[in-house]
Amino acid sequence: MNNRIIMKIGLTLLLTTALIACSQNTPSNRAVYLLIDTSGTYAEELSKAQAILNYLLGTLDSGDSIAAARIDSGSFSEKDIIAKMTFDLRPSMANSQKRQFKSRMDRFVDRIRYGSAHTDITGGVLQAAEYLNETGAGEKYILVFSDLEEDLKRGHIRNFPITLSGIHVVALNVTKLRTDNIDPRDYLNRLAAWQQRVIDGGGDWRVVNDLDRLDTLIAAR
Amino acid sequence: MFSDLLMIWSDQPGISLGIWLVVLITVLYLARLPAHQMLISTGRMVYRFMRSASRAFTKIERQAINRNKEVILAQGREATEKVIEREFTRVSEIVAKDLSRYPVLHRKLSDVIDQLEKDYESSTDTPPLPPEWLSVVQTISELPKQSDPLVSDILENIKEKVGKAHEETLKAYQKATGERHDILASMQPNWRSLSGKMDKAQTAVSISQERAEAIDRHMEMYKAIRDGEDKAARALTASSLTQFFIAGLVLFVAAMGGLINFQLIAMPMSEMVGGSSYIGSLKTSNIAALVIILIEIAMGLFLLESLRITKLFSVIGHMDDKMRKRMMLITFSILFILACIEASLAYMRDLLALDREVLKQSLIGSSVLEAEFRWIPSIGQMVMGFVLPFALSFVAIPLESFIHSSRTVLGVISVAVLRVIAIALRLIGGTANQLCKIAVYLYDMVISVPLAIEKLIRHVIGSRTREPGKQKTEPASAENSKAMYVDETGKKPAKKTARKGRRDTELLDDDLAFGKS
């Protein structure tokens, strides 16, 4: 009799566990691609980019992917990727990888002396989308640390639709240019144009200028 | 639509409404008899249906009560048998331990008593008495001094000799008395030994008597259980409820311990099974930690089962001793290994937490401070990781009590639920019946005008056609509506006679029917 009762309780527990397990979808890993504008005077903002990266390293977990790349005159290139990494499933190894990533980023910031002549944001976004799609992550983020003023080199073609389906694009620290102060509509038009482009590409657009509110940047797991 | 229908008789709403009211009341008056029948029969139908359902539930409740009683008495019988068996075992042990040595004790007592008798006899030996010629010496010494020196010398010599003899005799007497005292002193340990042995015998006898009284009490309880007495069943139910709550409390404490254990090993488990792997919505590392804890609890169950402390698995209980000992060894080994794993995981957790903290500090750009006495929490965690699995293994004892007592508690709850349902059904049935009766009166109130006219007409016709000795025709009213139904159907209402020995439920039904006539 006791065995029967125990069996019933065990079966009930098993069924409950199975139902709970099957009732929700598996949470997926995250992939973040940080684009850092190194053109012109924006190169002076790199310390802020470092703070963002440190926040990302503290937030991302085992199995998540992260990449940091610079925006220069021609950004659609693997050479512009400063560091990329998919964290190991073991937390101890992941911590070690985070240290490596940070040291690479620190080295890059130390080496930067002058900004690039032109600003190819679209190329960087294309490169980021390609990387993120390759990771196969459930949540994909492109963080654009730039003033969003694109200045293409002569001959570079970027005025075509870009595919950003399922990617959250977040513009960070979009600084106002001197001309924006004269006519703020330039700034608003610039943001609106990028928003339109991202939404047309199937992505999701957000602007975060207050870097003290980075906790809303990526979804916590 | 409604307004069109309302204004069908006249363009003036008042007139139209009045006509509608007349039509309605006329229709209601004409349909009075079937309407009354319908209302009353509906009320009766609901009432009877609910009463039948209530009786069915009451029957199930009685079955549940009987079953609960059987279960609780069976459990109580089993428990009392075990208690009596244990008491007999204790008595047997007492008899084997103390009373089996009674012949030896008896012999020792006899020896001691014999020795005491001998010593007593020895101590009663008379000491040598002074010789009778001492009186002669006394006489000589009292003689007056003689002038003759020869006689005086002789007498002095005699006196000296006799004095010496007296001293020797006195010494012999004193020696003999001392020997008697020694014999008496040597009797003291024998007396003590005798007293101690008698005390031991008394203790053994009194313990046996206490056990015998306890057995008598348990036997009385067992007899009451065997006879199926309600008092015994109630006592067992109360005891079972107490057990249920105590076992529940201990299980809650154990669950808290399990939670702490889980927290201790969940994070380091991600080093083994990966930190980003999920099964459903749960992290695989968390599930793995949970599984380890559950395995520990299972091993604890098997261990205590092998030790025959609990009796949850009859298969283990029926094993022969050799196999049982093997099982004990295996389960203890697994438990020990798991405890070691937990201790190492707890240590790893500490290392990981430290590493994570260092990384965070470096990310925010602050220098990492080396904390003093960090080894204390590390060792504390390791010890906790080692001890908790063994502590959790004892959860089998309250679990067994909980499972056993939960049968009684569930039975009591099911009986209570069934009783509430039965009472609710009776109440609903009685209320529905009364509501239908009220509806009959309301119906008559609506058509009170035509009823009054009818009464008047009947009165006029009755007064015209009245003959001496003939009964006055009663006007139709709600009070005699039943008589009308009788006239219509041509059947007499069956008089209800009070049945003897009606059941309580029927009395209650009558009460709920609010004066069912």
8 Å CB contact between B324 and B334:
no
Q: Which of A8, A52, A62 to substitute to test the interface with B, most B CBs within 10 Å? A: A62
**Contact with chain B for residue A99, Cβ under 8 A:** yes
Secondary structure of B148-214 as H, E, C letters: CHHHHHHHHHHHHHHHHHHHHHHHHHHHHHHHHHHHHHHHHHHHHHHHHHHHHHHHHHHHHHHHHHH
Q: Which of B363, B364, B366, B410 to substitute to test the interface with A, most A CBs within 10 Å? A: B363
Q: Which of B276, B283, B351, B354 to substitute to test the interface with A, most A CBs within 10 Å? A: B276
Torsion over CA: B202, B205, B208, B214 (sign): negative
Give B359's contacts in chain A (Cβ within 8 Å). 57-58, 95, 98-99
User: Can you give the pLDDT at residue A16?
Assistant: 64
Question: Nearest CB to A3: which of B274, B313, B365?
Answer: B313
Residue of higher predicted confidence among A82 and A10 = A82
Q: Å from A62 to nearest chain B CA?
A: 6
Domain boundaries, chain B: 2-84+415-466+478-512, 98-226, 234-394
**Residues forming beta bridges with residue A172, ordered by sequence position:** A145, A208
Question: Nearest CB to B276: which of A2, A63, A102?
Answer: A63
What confidence tens digit (pLDDT) does each residue in A17-56 have? 555 554 444 557 899 999 998 877 777 788 888 888 988 9
Among A124-138, A148-162, B6-20, top mean pLDDT goes to: A124-138
Q: Write out the residue range of the structural domain in which residue A86 sits.
A: 30-216
Question: Nearest CB to A26: which of B278, B314, B404?
Answer: B278
Say how many domains are in chain A.
1
Contact at CB, A92 and B355, closer than 8 angstroms: yes
User: Can you give the pLDDT at residue B475?
Assistant: 47
Residue of higher predicted confidence among B196 and A201 = A201
Residue A152 lies in a domain: yes
CATH number of the domain residue A195 falls in: 3.40.50.410
Contact at CB, A102 and B362, closer than 8 angstroms: yes
* Residue in chain A lying closest to B405 (CA): A2
- Asked whether the whole model's pTM tops 0.90, one would answer no
Give A139's contacts in chain B (Cβ within 8 Å). none
How many beta carbons lie within 10 A of that of residue B483, not counting itself?
Answer: 13
Q: Å from B422 to nearest chain A CA?
A: 28
**Contact with chain B for residue A6, Cβ under 8 A:** yes
Residue A23 lies in a domain: no
What confidence tens digit (pLDDT) does each residue in B32-58 have? 999 999 999 999 999 999 999 999 999
Question: Nearest CB to B280: which of A6, A21, A99?
Answer: A21
Residue A8 lies in a domain: no
User: Can you give the pLDDT at residue B485?
Assistant: 47
**Contact with chain B for residue A57, Cβ under 8 A:** yes
* Residue in chain A lying closest to B401 (CA): A2
Helix axes B13-30, B32-97, angle to 10 degrees: 60
Contact at CB, B280 and A98, closer than 8 angstroms: no
H runs (alpha helix) in A24-120: 46-59, 91-111
Torsion over CA: A113, A119, A124, A125 (sign): positive
Residue A186 lies in a domain: yes
CA angle A59/A65/A69 to nearest 5° reads 100
- Closest by alpha carbon to A105, among A77, A133, A84, A130? A84
Residue of higher predicted confidence among A124 and B282 = A124
The tokens of A125 are what? 């976004």
Contact at CB, A58 and B267, closer than 8 angstroms: no
Express as a percent the part of chain A with pLDDT over 70. Answer: 86
Interface A–B counts its CB contacts (< 8 A) at: 83
The tokens of B188 are what? 């003291």
Q: Which of A7, A15, A26 to substitute to test the interface with B, most B CBs within 10 Å? A: A26
ipTM: 0.73
**Contact with chain B for residue A47, Cβ under 8 A:** no
What confidence tens digit (pLDDT) does each residue in B358-372 have? 888 888 777 766 667
Spell out, as residue ranges, where chain B has pLDDT lower than 70: 1-2, 98-99, 124-134, 136-137, 140-141, 144-147, 368-371, 466-517
The answer for A121, left when phi > 0, alpha when psi is -120 to 50, beta otherwise, is: alpha
